[in-house]
Amino acid sequence: MREFPSCFGENGVQVADSSSSSTASRAAQNVVTCVYQCKFRGRSCLITVSWTKTMMGQGLSVGIDDLGNQCLCKVDIKPWLFSKRKGSKNLEVDSSRIDIFWDLTCAKFGSGPEPLEGFYLAIVFNHETVLLLGDLKKEATRKIESDYARSDAVFIAKREHIFGKKFYGAKAQFCDKGQVHDVTIECDTVGLNDPCLVIRIDSKTVMQVERLKWKFRGNHTILVDGVPVEVFWDVHNWLFGNAMGNAVFMFQSCIPTEKLWPGHSVSDPSVLKWAYSQHFRDSQLQGLGFSLILYAWKND
């Protein structure tokens, strides 16, 4: 699928196909991808940060695309055990200097590959910070040799793989710098003639889909922090596909329902690609426009 920028496209785990194997499922569990919109060379661009986890340790990949989906540069920081937890890389793109700094020496991780705290990741273009992640702002400022390290990048999209038997959980901000919410998807399809899909935000039920075998694909609008969020779901693989297949959910805070083409599902790459291009055209909507794509895999 090509719904994320091209720098990430060749590295992504392709999981929408119902024929995906258990090996792909296990690999998918260890990738979280985040997309940020920022200013680069005086125009908007996309920075994709993919956090990975393997038996060799943590790693990450940074890609920079322009809005024409052309890859400007890509840097892979390979998994580490006892080295490369702290470092920097620099490169030249069209006679301009790009520096990438990171420090995960004291990083704390949850069950996934994305660090929770105790780290920083900074991307600097011609001595100007375009992206700064993590809670170690002062340490990043000293490393960048700047009086004030900050960035105006906007967090616009996240792709994550979640696993469970009946309950699937993730965290999400539905607008840039907004409150972090717990998203829970509940769906038991084992031995049930009439399974039901329930989605909760911070333990509060926001939508419920009954007669799921007839409504295995669809969309519904919910309100989160007063912001309309369109929820798309496709659980066909859970109900009718390969036993190792995944369901797909997308939460999009600014995609108008009436603009979707009839007959398309959320797992259709053309829909997802359109969703992102539509967001970029509407990017002036006062910080709204976050997209969360969750691939939900059933544990054996």
Q: Which residues contact 269 (CB under 8 A, 6 or more apart)?
A: 1, 2, 3, 16
Q: What is the pLDDT of residues 45-104, one digit of tens each?
A: 889 999 998 888 889 999 988 767 778 888 898 888 767 789 899 888 777 888 999 999
Q: What's the pLDDT at 179? A: 85
In this structure, what DSSP letter does residue 258 have?
Answer: G
E-state strands within the chain: 31-40, 43-54, 57-66, 71-80, 86-93, 96-103, 108-109, 115-117, 120-125, 128-134, 154-164, 167-173, 180-187, 197-201, 204-209, 217-224, 227-234, 246-252, 291-298
Rounded to a whole number of angstroms, the distance between the first and last alpha carbons of the chain is 25
Contact yes or no for 57/80 (Cβ under 8 A): yes
- Encoded tokens for 104: 């995960």
Q: Three-class SS of residue 138?
A: helix
**Cα separations in angstroms, 132 against 23, 123, 135, 153, 158:** 34, 7, 9, 8, 16
Read off the pLDDT band of 243 (50, 70, 90): low
Domain range summary for the chain, segments of one domain joined by +: 34-152, 160-298
Q: Three-class SS of residue 27?
A: helix
The predicted model gives 201-225 an average pLDDT of 92
Residue with tokens 């993590």: 134
DSSP per position, 212-251: TTT-SEEEEEEEETTEEEEEEEE-HHHHHS-TT-EEEEEE
Q: What is the pLDDT of residues 147-162, one digit of tens each?
A: 556 677 888 889 999 8
The predicted model gives 253-282 an average pLDDT of 46
- Which residue did the predictor score with more confidence, 14 or 227? 227
Q: What's the pLDDT at 62? A: 94
What pTM did the predictor assign? 0.78
Pairing of strands 154-164, 291-298: parallel
Which residues lie across from 45 on neighbouring strands? 38, 66
